Amino acid sequence: MIDLTQFYDIRFLIELGAFSLLAVIILGLSILTVYSRNIVHSGLYLLGSFAAVAALYISLNATFVGVAQVLVYIGAVGVLILFAIMLTRKTLMEEESHG
């Protein structure tokens, strides 16, 4: 049974609010990543969604995983993606952005 009293617990509300906010951010940024017309914008949205995922991990009390997410996904994989974008052909980018 669902204990309805916990809905009135402010801590629960904060957690719920934080989770929904993060979920919205993650989903929104992910959608933007896919639909963005500019490949660099896509990359940056992806980084933002990584950051939100890190925040989600932390809010789930998995702090080490969250910080590791920041270090590896934003610090390393994100840089890898940005680097890769800089190494792509410009015409390719234009096709992406106009297509």
Partner 1 sequence: MSGEMMAVDYYIPLIMFLIVGALVPIGALAAVKIISPQKSTLQKRSTYEGGLRPIREAIIQYNVQYYLFAIAFVIFDVEVLFLYPWIYVYASDAIPAVGGVSIAITGMLIFIVVLLIGLLYDIKKEALRWV
Partner 2 sequence: MTTANDVLSALQSAFPGAVEEAKISPERQLWATIKPDKIVDVCKYLRDNHSFDHYSGAAGVDKIDEGLFEVTELLASHGAHQVVALLKVKTPRDDPSVKSLTGLYWNANWYEREIWEMLGINFEGHPELYPLLLCDELVGVWPWRKDFKGYPDYTTAERAIEMVTSDGYTEYSFPPTEAEIKAGTVPVDRPKYPTFREREEMEIEGESEMILHMGPQHAVVPGPFLLDILVDGERVKKAFLDVGYIHKGIEKIMENRTYTQGIPITDRLCYMAALTNNEAYCGAVERLLGIEAPERGQYIRMILEELSRIQSHLLGTGEFLTLIASAVYSPFLYMIIDREDVLSCIESVTGARINHSFVRFGGVRNDLPDGFKDMTLDTLKMIRQKTEEYKELFLSDSIYRKRMEGVGVLSPQEARRLGVSGPPLRASDTPYDMRREDPYLLYKDMDFEVITRKEGDSKARVEVRLDEILESCYIIEQCLDQIPSGPVMAEGVPKRIKPDPGEAYYRVEDHRGEMGFFVVSDGSDKPAKVKARGPVYAYFQALPPLLEGVYIADVVAIAGSMDACTSEVDR
Partner 3 sequence: MVLSAITEFAAQEPKIYGLVIGLVAAAILASIINVVAMLLVWLERKVMGDFQARYGPNRVGGRWGVLQLGADAVKLFTKEDVIPRGADKPVYVWAPIVAVATTMLVAGALPFGAVIIDGKEIPLVVANMDISAFYIEAALSIMAISAFMAGWSSNNKYSMLGAFRGIARMIAYEVPMGICVISVAVMAHSLNVVEIVQAQSVWFAIAQPLGFVIFAIALITDLGRMPFDQTEAEEEIIAGYNTEYSGIRFGLLYFQEYIVMLLGSILLVHLYLGGWNGPVIPVISFISPMIWFFMKLVIVLVALIWVRVSLPRFRIDQVTDLGWKILLPLSMVNLAWAVVVGLYFA
DSSP 8-state class, residue 38: S
Q: Which does 34 bind (CB under 5 to 8 A by kind): partner 2, partner 3, partner 1, none?
A: none
Q: Is 9 helix (H, G, I), strand (E, B) or coil?
A: coil
Site for partner 1 in 70-99 (CB under 8 A): 71-72, 75-77, 79-80, 83-84, 86-90, 93
**What spatial distance separates the first Cα and last Cα of the chain, rounded to whole Å?**
51
Minimal distance in Å, beta carbon 1 to partner 3? 26
Distance CA 74, CA 20 (A): 22
Minimal distance in Å, beta carbon 39 to partner 3? 11
